[in-house]
Amino acid sequence: MLITAVSAAIVAGCTAEPSTNQAPVATSAPTPGAVSAPVARPVEASRISLVEAKKEYDAGTAVMIDVRPADVFNAERVKGALNMPYETLDANISKLPKGKKLIVYCS
């Protein structure tokens, strides 16, 4: 469930214009006595500058994750980036390196 929320944030970040100080998403109060299903909460993905991303990557403290389709990745990519298309994130989450910042990009 967590990776799905993170994946949604990644795609939203790839398609949305940067925004500042957005209000939190409001949810209605549950009806007394009603059983409610878990609600996916939006996950905020931090944005970093290209300079900061390069600094982290060069220092070995971060890994670049390209979530575009393989054919697009193969045509052009950041040198050393891992290709993990968005649709495969759930199946491949265990392959992500531990203890490093994940810098995800899609364009």
Model pLDDT for residues 87-98, shown as the tens digit of each residue: 998 898 899 889
Model pLDDT for residues 7-35, shown as the tens digit of each residue: 444 444 564 444 443 334 434 444 455 55
Q: What is the CATH number of domain 1-16+48-107?
A: 3.40.250
- Cβ neighbors of 21 (< 8 A, separation 6 or more) are none
Model pLDDT for residues 34-76, shown as the tens digit of each residue: 555 555 555 677 899 999 999 999 999 999 999 999 999 999 9
Q: In this structure, which amino acid lies at residue 42?
A: P
Q: Where are the beta strands (DSSP E) in 9-100?
A: 62-66, 82-83
Q: Residues of the chain with pLDDT > 90: what percent?
A: 46
pLDDT at residue number 2: 36
Integer angstrom CA distances of residue 67 from 30, 76, 84: 36, 13, 5
